[in-house]
Chains A and B, each alone.
Chain A
Amino acid sequence: AQSVTQLGSHVSVSEGALVLLRCNYSSSVPPYLFWYVQYPNQGLQLLLKYTSAATLVKGINGFEAEFKKSETSFHLTKPSAHMSDAAEYFCAVLQGAQKLVFGQGTRLTINP
């Protein structure tokens, strides 16, 4: 079964600094990987997805993620944090055709 581990339940960065949210997966088959963002009191919004095309995936709001098979990683980055990026971020892997398996989430705080 596939699984996802997000390193760091809380990450805090200064406005304008690099954002790096870590995600490692385990999968016996080429994975479909996703990053979702959840703003307070809202549902989950898809940031980006990896579906075995390009290893560097660009998403919305300036985020991108790089698939590294050798490291079984799919870390999310943004060059310059904005206050509006404060939210909870979830990495997920598609298991079979039935469901998404989510990591535990990383809460991102942006300091002014």
Chain B
Amino acid sequence: EAQVTQNPRYLITVTGKKLTVTCSQNMNHEYMSWYRQDPGLGLRQIYYSMNVEVTDKGDVPEGYKVSRKEKRNFPLILESPSPNQTSLYFCASRGAYNEQFFGPGTRLTVL
């Protein structure tokens, strides 16, 4: 089944404790991205990657890092999480007709 997977689905952590959210897609898509969803703000792009080893900032990149060492994986790294990064995070990959396929989401709480 074609899909985007994310792990973990839920995470509660404390300020300053480094964490990584994994994202993987099995559709051989070149383009992948990360969004965060906050009430009243819709989804905002954090980072995107046009291909392996090519990443760039989206609208809200502060406090996040990404890497793209393989086509299928695009992990999101929070090296020192803060409470304002409490949010719902989605990974997505883009298909041939510009439609984006989203993962199930990771709900992160930073205490």
> Interface of A with B (CB < 8 Å)?
9, 32, 34, 36, 41-46, 49, 51, 90, 94, 97-100, 102-105
B42–A105 contact, CB under 8 A? Answer: yes
Q: How many residues of B are in contact with the other chain, CB < 8 A?
A: 24
Task: List 14 additional A-B contacts (Cβ < 8 Å) besides A46-B100, A98-B50, A100-B43.
Answer: A34-B99, A42-B105, A43-B102, A44-B43, A44-B90, A46-B99, A49-B98, A49-B99, A97-B50, A98-B58, A99-B33, A99-B48, A99-B59, A104-B42
Q: Could you jot down 25 A-B contacts, CB within 8 Å? A: A32-B98, A34-B99, A36-B102, A42-B104, A42-B105, A43-B90, A43-B102, A43-B103, A43-B104, A44-B90, A45-B102, A46-B99, A46-B100, A49-B98, A90-B42, A90-B43, A97-B50, A98-B56, A99-B33, A100-B43, A102-B42, A102-B43, A102-B44, A103-B42, A104-B41
Question: Please, how many angstroms separate the alpha-carbon atoms of A98 and B55 in the complex?
Answer: 11
Question: Please, how many angstroms separate the alpha-carbon atoms of A46 and B101 in the complex?
Answer: 7
Contacts of B101 in A (CB 8 A): 46
CB distance from B6 to the nearest CB of A (A): 8
- Nearest residue, chain B, Cβ from A98: B48
Most buried by A among B31, B48, B100, B104: B100
CB distance from A55 to the nearest CB of B (A): 17
CB distance from A51 to the nearest CB of B (A): 6
